Structure 1
């Protein structure tokens, strides 16, 4: 049990004691009670709002109640002082022995320090990337890929079971365009000089697909009508693009558990099943949409379509699930896909590009209708990334045709730099990715700053051994107030994990690691002006071992946090 969880338990026991003494009514709701660091560190180590939460339902004065709760908490061996602030906030100052104990807890738990059970084994389906299978991954996909993958790891660390899913949009018009583009490259591979018209994919990545088609089928489909080769070329091209996409994702260390095909979904009749299920419940009806705004009646012909009653669930208007030609709309297909996902998960999370913001309401409405509100559903919107080099926009890739590939970026700066940088801002905030700045060795570069902190810890271990110092039983009483302050920062990690998982915000881990690294660097740098503050003192082996123990605990937390982010903790720089 982590320190904050332990004190939450202590607080509950204190409240139980007040109930037994008749100072507090039994059965009061305690879920809103928190135990957290005070906003002002000078007030102590922990603070609780228990008296503020319980006073009104208990029919008593919050400050008076705080005094009684504080008196119970003051009995704890781990508490050195209790104070009451404002109208009833209770501040606790913990003993140095308590913080030394937490230092031991960090290294004893090792890779599991910060791991939580708040997820209680609930299954969460996280769908991310889901780029159209029409070419290699580009940097527009990269941020959502990293955010989704880090979120999946974070949720697992917080006690959830996670399904990592990729939805392959292989049933829309874009894959027909892909097939036609592949046909051009097929003809090119057979010696024909081609020109790629507007609307087809110009990237050179389709040349190997064309060459393979030429090798397998010769000139059989050169002059054949489209109806004879479109489906075949579409299947082959999509498979090749998915192989390319998987390889690109692997460069980022991303591997999905499940790839779901839209074409297979439709072939299995899933949209029809979802429609029938909703019709039985009166949530789909045949109706006519209002004319689009700004168009005259002459420009628009009313057509009866099957409409989902999304307005019952907060949407602006009811939405068609089929087009006038009988084909499924994007929404109709997505509705069926989410219906399928909900069969095997308690919660659904979609990671979408910000350009999909307009469709959030309708799909949220659909999931609510399809699951009776029982499946929690969340959409995380991710803003685009602007690529720069020394402040100037990066030129497009010739190979890709009209964008910069993810592979090119990863190959230049490395997986860890890309992943960490993608998590240095909230997902819904705009981001600049400057090739020069992300590899800069400075405090202003979070990737370097956190990695350097871990490398310093690893270096300290090596240099301590080289100095002939071996550490057996470590005397942690040698650590002073400044050093124990670092332990207090380290002890925040379990709280950060739970808060980040609850908010579905993996960037909070990156922010925390940067702050923790700053605390370590600050303590380390004291040794530049005062030799006695150095972590390694060859003539004081016991103090060196205590400081090494402290440093290793920080290194452990940095490793745990970086593992959630999918970033390696380097040993040297």
Structure 2
């Protein structure tokens, strides 16, 4: 049994071979581009099991009528074993209805492939770098970071399952003013650990309690050497010390969520190695950076604004609304300037780049994509770069919003939330909506044991299957699969969509599609289960019929396998009992 034996791949292959036959017959031109040909379930299940748009998308380049092409293609598809009926709808869509034997065979395929069912080779080993989280290393992870962390990690799991080689990367912003503030705040806690009464935390410092153990560690490491020393003697040292401790804390927080990165890249190291200067030199050589003066900001006059010549990237050449400075007036790199050098570095070891950003960074997407396009295409490598924007999550407790303020030290930490509701609840919940849609995380609802809670409903389906298998007293068997009727085969049809969903989700870079699919599959299983309450003959365990019981147990076990595979992609455990 190979991955290509699954129904999804097999039917797509049948359509492809039918198109080959039309090329051989001269009905289609040789070598016609088929990339937009799709084989997927029709929107209305009453139209059939699968549909293809092949005639619709190929008719124009083939200079023929879609309906005529559909007729020719339908004649070829009627020759395929397992296709019961072929119907042409509208101007040229082709609907296929498959035999019951096909769905029984798919259950056997799920059994044979096990945890590999749904895997794809579509990635062909393409190296994809996914950067996600990348929160400033100034404190523990809070819930403002959570959604992007889960989306990025689930996307990494999805792309790996679909045959890509994935690098999970965290970019440490350790070269900006915020880490100087962290160093000063740590030095204050260091003095406190040495017995000094520091009073109220000064305005502009990080006041969080989380810096107390960092200050204590600094006191243990350095003694009182820097207690009364001038800032120039300890700032750099304390900056590195504090960032190191913060990264350890961040790693521990992410581990609670089941997240581990392959690579932590330092902005400070990037700058120390001269990567931004190298990127600037290359861009200047190709006339993509020039020295110029930005227009005065709206509302500013010559009295309160002084024009300054700065190195500007020709972002307008790539669709941005203005050219962008890569350095500040004091000669330091802008965030954009450092960021483009960082992406250029990432592109050296990847075939595609994906960044997961908060929606508040939407305004910078166009310019950084322009810079990466210029650097990679100009250097002879076209490295696709995609940015996925993630909206913030509104936390609710007792129906009231939970306020977060990192500077005030009152934020809700990721660790606290995971410890309260569990890793699986947090991860799955973050994927129950598209990442660019607003989301509420209600502490009461996410642990509610009801069908209105998708986390519970999916895990309950798996637990219900596991419980049934334990209690049955009969071993699952494929021997009686021919006795499964339309109610059971409807479940098999839904489960059989999993490989197609994996590929479509991977192509779109949208792991939430897996969560949506699992909710649909779980809902169908629960509906089938409940059907047995009204019709005892449809119960999974039929006391006086061992053969149908064994066949339905086999079906249930396969549904459980697909749920496990989907949850594994998302980094969520498939529990056996709740």
Alignment TM class, shorter chain as reference: over 0.9
Q: In the alignment, does 2:299 pair up with 1:294? A: yes
Q: Within 5 Å, give how 1:455-466 maps onto structure 2.
A: 455-464=463-472
**What's 1:561 paired with?**
566
Alignment match of 1:380 (pick from 352, 377, 388)? 388
Q: CA deviation at 1:543?
A: 0.4
Q: 1:496-518 CA distances to partner (integer Å, 9 max, x unpaired)?
A: 11111111111111011000000
Mind listing any 5+ residue stretches in structure 2 that lack a counterpart?
none
Report which stretch shifted further, 385-394 or 448-457: 385-394
**What's 2:247 paired with?**
242
TM-score (norm 2): 0.96
Q: Distance in 2 between matches of 1:379 and 1:67?
A: 42
Q: What SS does the aligned partner of 2:248 have?
A: helix
**What's 1:214 paired with?**
219
Mind listing any 5+ residue stretches in structure 1 that lack a counterpart?
none
Q: Within 5 Å, give how 1:69-148 maps onto structure 2.
A: 69-148=73-152
Q: Is the CA contact 1:497–1:509 (under 8 Å) kept in the aligned structure 2? A: yes
Q: Is the CA contact 1:204–1:399 (under 8 Å) kept in the aligned structure 2? A: no
Q: 1:194-233 CA distances to partner (integer Å, 9 max, x unpaired)?
A: 2201111000000011112222223222221111111111
Q: In the alignment, does 2:445 pair up with 1:437? A: yes
Q: 1:128-164 CA distances to partner (integer Å, 9 max, x unpaired)?
A: 0000000000000011000000001101111111010
Q: Is the CA contact 2:206–2:407 (under 8 Å) kept in the aligned structure 1? A: no
Q: CA deviation at 1:388?
A: 0.6
Q: CA deviation at 1:43?
A: 1.1
**What's 1:182 paired with?**
186
Alignment match of 2:41 (pick from 37, 44, 52)? 37
Q: Is the CA contact 1:205–1:399 (under 8 Å) kept in the aligned structure 2? A: no
Are the structure 2 counterparts of residues 232 and 51 from structure 1 closer, same or farther at C-alpha, using a change threshold of 3 Å?
same
Q: Is the CA contact 2:478–2:551 (under 8 Å) kept in the aligned structure 1? A: no
Are the structure 2 counterparts of residues 57 and 272 from structure 1 closer, same or farther at C-alpha, using a change threshold of 3 Å?
closer
Q: Distance in 2 between matches of 1:23 and 1:398?
A: 66
**What's 1:454 paired with?**
462
Q: 1:454-513 CA distances to partner (integer Å, 9 max, x unpaired)?
A: 00111111011xx3x234552210100111011110111111111111111111110110
Q: Within 5 Å, give how 1:332-481 maps onto structure 2.
A: 332-372=337-377, 374-394=382-402, 401-464=409-472, 467=473, 469-471=474-476, 474-481=479-486
Are the structure 2 counterparts of residues 28 and 150 from structure 1 closer, same or farther at C-alpha, using a change threshold of 3 Å?
same
Q: Is the CA contact 1:111–1:560 (under 8 Å) kept in the aligned structure 2? A: yes
Q: Distance in 2 between matches of 1:180 and 1:58?
A: 69
Q: 1:50-105 CA distances to partner (integer Å, 9 max, x unpaired)?
A: 22223333343322322222122111220111111111211111110011011111
Q: Distance in 1 between matches of 2:418 and 2:205?
A: 27
Q: Distance in 2 between matches of 1:113 and 1:560?
A: 7
Runs of 4+ off more than 4 Å = 395-400
Are the structure 2 counterparts of residues 339 and 537 from structure 1 closer, same or farther at C-alpha, using a change threshold of 3 Å?
same
**What's 2:271 paired with?**
266
Alignment match of 1:306 (pick from 307, 311, 317)? 311
Provide the aligned length of Structure 1 versus Structure 2. Answer: 570
Q: Is the CA contact 1:136–1:400 (under 8 Å) kept in the aligned structure 2? A: no
Q: Distance in 2 between matches of 1:435 and 1:540?
A: 45
TM-score (norm 1): 0.97
Q: 1:515-567 CA distances to partner (integer Å, 9 max, x unpaired)?
A: 00001000011111121111011221110110011111111110011001000
Are the structure 2 counterparts of residues 79 and 334 from structure 1 closer, same or farther at C-alpha, using a change threshold of 3 Å?
same
Q: What SS does the aligned partner of 1:387 have?
A: strand
Q: Distance in 2 between matches of 1:532 and 1:347?
A: 53
Q: 1:273-325 CA distances to partner (integer Å, 9 max, x unpaired)?
A: 11111111111111111111111111111111111111111111111111111
Q: In the alignment, does 2:165 pair up with 1:161? A: yes
Are the structure 2 counterparts of residues 218 and 30 from structure 1 closer, same or farther at C-alpha, using a change threshold of 3 Å?
closer
Q: Distance in 2 between matches of 1:501 and 1:461?
A: 33
Q: What SS does the aligned partner of 1:191 have?
A: coil
Q: What SS does the aligned partner of 1:505 have?
A: coil
